[in-house]
């Protein structure tokens, strides 16, 4: 089954909600930075990348691990979607 970028975004939001159950609903939007917000800590970001890599079948190596990809939830969703397209 081919999954859309909306599926990637939803997976990111679901991961954040599961990892941070005390976060108020709507506190994380597509524009929320994963680097500067309280949505995830540094370990959470690494866990999220492994989760997305496993779920969407993309390899995320050191060279592609750029903080610009975490500028927002939407930026990360685009990054993962692009990686899937390259696979």
**Local confidence band at 58 (pLDDT 50, 70, 90 cut-offs):** confident
Tell which wins on pLDDT, 52 or 86.
52
**Structural domain that includes position 67:** 2-86
pLDDT at 87 over 90: no
pLDDT of 4-36, one tens digit each?
A: 889 999 999 999 999 988 888 889 999 999 888
Q: Which helix (H) or strand (E) holds 11?
A: helix 5-19
Based on the structure, what is the number of domains in the chain?
Answer: 1
The pTM score is 0.87
* pLDDT for res 2: 53
Supply the DSSP symbol for 25: T
CATH number at residue 37: 1.10.1200.10
User: How far from 4 is each of 52, 56, 80, CA to CA, in Å?
Assistant: 13, 10, 10
Share of the chain above pLDDT 70, in %: 94
């Amino acid at each position: 089954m081919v999954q859309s970028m909306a599926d990637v975004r939803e997976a990111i939001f679901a991961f954040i909600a599961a990892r941070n159950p005390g976060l108020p609903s709507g506190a994380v939007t597509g524009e929320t930075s994963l680097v500067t917000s309280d949505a995830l800590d540094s370990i959470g970001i690494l866990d999220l990348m492994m989760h997305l890599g496993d779920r969407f079948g993309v390899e995320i190596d050191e060279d592609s691990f750029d903080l610009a990809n975490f500028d927002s939830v939407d930026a990360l969703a685009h990054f993962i979607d692009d990686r899937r397209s390259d696979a």
